[in-house]
A and B are shown apart, each in its own frame.
Chain A
Amino acid sequence: MAYQSYVLICGGTACCSGGADGIAEEFGKRLALAGLADKVQVVKTGCLGFCEQGPIVKILPQGTFYVQVKKDDVGEIVSEHLVKGRVVQRLCYDPSQAKKLVSEANIPFYQKQYRIVLRNCGVIDPEKIDDYIARDGYKAIEKVLFEMTPEQVVEEMLKSGLRGRGGAGFPTGMKWKFAQQQPKGQKYMVCNADEGDPGAYMDRSTLEGDPHSVLEAMIIAGYAIGATKGFIYIRAEYPLAIHRLQVAIAQATELGLLGKDILGSGFDFEIELRFGAGAFVCGEETALLQSIEGNRGMPRPRPPFPAVKGLWGRPTVINNVETLANVPVIINKGADWFSKIGTATTKGTKVFALTGKVNNSGLIEVPMGTTLREIIFDIGGGIRGGHQFKAAQTGGPSGGIIPPQFLDTPIDYESLAKIGSIMGSGGLIVMDETDCVVDIAKFYLDFTVDESCGKCAPCRIGGRKLLNYLNKISSGRGTEQDIEDMRQICDAMNKASLCGLGQTASNPVRSTLRYFMDEYMEHIRDKKCRSAKCSRLVTYKIDAAKCKGCTMCARKCPAGAISGTVKQPHVIDQAKCVKCGACEATCKFGAISHG
């Protein structure tokens, strides 16, 4: 029997932690009570993307979009919307308080998006293979196995212009071609799901919301290069994604889509999961292979490239989750269709995890060539709390900081490289004027120093030295010579490091030096941090006119730096002050300020 309505509940990580499970359960109960259990189907989907407003519930066929839904709201949605057909206005998305936006199509967050990779995320139940099949799932396998030769598959990928979405942008078809041309024998297909970039969760959401699309792509790739065995290398920190993949592999195996003699074609392919263990460097392909082999994840020099000598010395193709999720669509709709989307050099779409100081944090997918301004201001709804846009960072610790004058840069691999950043895997972090660039550079360097495997000296020593200089500058002891020294270290690391981690680790420093030199100079010459993030450069002051002498601050001060008599203005002894800010947080009269 056909259902008259569908209740889609976002089952992404953010919404789940907001209580999505309880909401799904409550819908089940309430629908049964209302006698609608067989007329309305409740589906827990993958990430709907609008994480800022979660938990999210979407009602089909109307497309009504409810945000920040709580368990207590479920009764009203059932009795009003599903029984009486009246939209529950108070739960609709409402940016301006003036006009209620009822359906997804009307919400600015979704208007500029175009979904290829996330085509099924938030639409299907990721734990049901039938849902995936109903949306053309596993159709590409049939086409590939029965109508195309491996050479034709590679040709199609080359023609589509798809490039690696892990960040480096190497043409996917080319990788496949190299591996295909290797002599016959054991070859491997590896999916890189070791998403280690802090502030990015694109691959996790794709795997959680649509695991079959990745499995299907791996089978296609396996057929094209002549591999019969695939590995998915996934972070152990992603238990839900691991669970969904395990379910998906079991279901696909049961239907004969994985295993021996797939669909009677004579082609065998199996997929095994291997867990990462928290090492950022394992996102680098040669380090990843070491880790699958059960070793310390240290990279090795290339060539030979993995396509020639990879896992256990055999030809291996490594593709990122997002790259793979594009593959079945390209096969189904054709390379010509795909290559019409995007810019001259970069085809298709890109998924970003839009986070930081932006109003609408969430998971978005836009055509290549969309500008940063469109992403941050139209989709992201601008900067939180009425602050000013200061910079955006793409590519995480390997990327660069992009200042306001480049907001209209269309996103593709080449134009981002030109302005000193990289596409990266899709983290997009927005910063406002309260963020300090020296502090940000320190944050990223701290990360790469911690994650450097230590094998090559430029990365191991260079990273540590850069971090030392940044610490020196942020504590007010920097000199102008330091800037020159840092530039030299950046160049050495970039040219001489063994792998991508070291080669790009200096990017946050290079780009901040390039665009925010004035702020570095303020730290060095004026001993001042304009956003007060570098705590050693901050001074706290008590405004005698506002101070009532309540003594609260003196009692809170851990260093005993504040003195004064009751009902008389207090003073801070700057020599004793440890810059913790406890006094300012405590003062009820707004008498204490910092600068």
Chain B
Amino acid sequence: MSEQTAEHNETMTPELKAFIESWKSKPGNLIMVLHQVQQTYGYIPRSIAIETAELLGVPLAKIYGVVTFYNFFKLQKAGKYIVQVCLGTACYLRGGDDIIKEFESQLGVGLNATTPDGMFSVEAVRCLGCCGLAPVAVVNGEVHGKLDKSMVAGIIEKYRKLG
């Protein structure tokens, strides 16, 4: 897969290295370090995971054990725009699953997958905490609330235009 070949090219940025060094002596640092890795690359690249294991002096298996336990950490690079559709209870009751289906069919991708052009990923998330606006979707941090199916095309178009 193309994403996987791209992965090997990731090299550790000096900022990340400095961050890891600053946390190295603190007990229980692993999750905070992994957050920083994901913030830097958008996911946890294998090459970086290996380097992190060496820097922190923990087994690689421990790093993957933690990464795969928590939903927040990703092993694959996501699209440029990440569409997160809320499936918290309030959104579910007000039709959140219809919104997901609409995004999936309009973008032609399944859940947790990325469009071939690398533009969009669709994810289902648990409660974004703005239940008053249900159903809600968040695209790269921008909240779109009180959605119905007819609004989906417009949202996709908006980000397509931004490029």
Contacts and interface: CB of A to CB of B under 8 A. Distances in A.
Interface of A: 13-14, 16-18, 51-52, 54, 195-201, 204-205, 236-239, 274-280, 291-297, 312, 353, 355-357, 361-362, 393, 396, 427, 429, 431, 435, 443, 447, 453
Contacts of B88: 198-199
A580 to B, nearest CB: 9
Contacts of A361: 90, 131-132, 134
Interface string B2-21: 00000000000000000000
A292 B29 CA distance: 8
Contacts of A238: 129
A51 B132 contact: yes
23 contacts: A14-B131, A51-B133, A195-B129, A198-B126, A200-B127, A201-B129, A237-B72, A237-B129, A274-B28, A274-B32, A275-B31, A278-B71, A279-B69, A280-B126, A293-B28, A294-B32, A297-B69, A312-B27, A312-B28, A355-B89, A355-B131, A355-B132, A453-B69
B28 A356 contact: no
A275 B35 contact: yes
Given A279-B70, A356-B93, 18 more contacts: A13-B128, A13-B129, A14-B130, A14-B132, A17-B144, A198-B87, A198-B92, A201-B130, A237-B72, A274-B32, A278-B72, A291-B31, A296-B69, A297-B70, A312-B27, A353-B131, A355-B131, A362-B132
Given A277-B72, A279-B69, A356-B93, A199 B127 contact: yes
Contacts of B128: 13, 237
A294 B130 CA distance: 29
Interface in B112-163: 125-134, 141-145
Interface residues of B, number: 37
B10 to A, nearest CB: 20
Contacts of A453: 69
B66 interface: yes
B30 interface: yes
B83 interface: no
Interface of B: 27-32, 34-35, 65-66, 69-73, 87-90, 92-94, 125-134, 141-145
A356 B145 contact: no
Which 8 A-B residue pairs are closest in the complex by CB-CB distance? A51-B132, A17-B143, A199-B89, A277-B70, A294-B30, A278-B71, A201-B129, A198-B88
Nearest to B136: A17
Contacts of A443: 89, 92
Nearest to B90: A355
Nearest to B29: A294
Contacts of B73: 277
A435 B93 CA distance: 7
A390 to B, nearest CB: 11
Given A277-B71, A278-B70, A18 B31 contact: no
Query: Which interface residue of A14, A198, A275 has the most chain B CB atoms within 10 A?
Result: A198
Given A236-B35, A279-B70, A294-B29, A396 B132 contact: no
A393 B72 contact: no
B84 to A, nearest CB: 10
Contacts of B132: 14, 51-52, 54, 355, 361-362
A49 to B, nearest CB: 9
Nearest to B27: A312
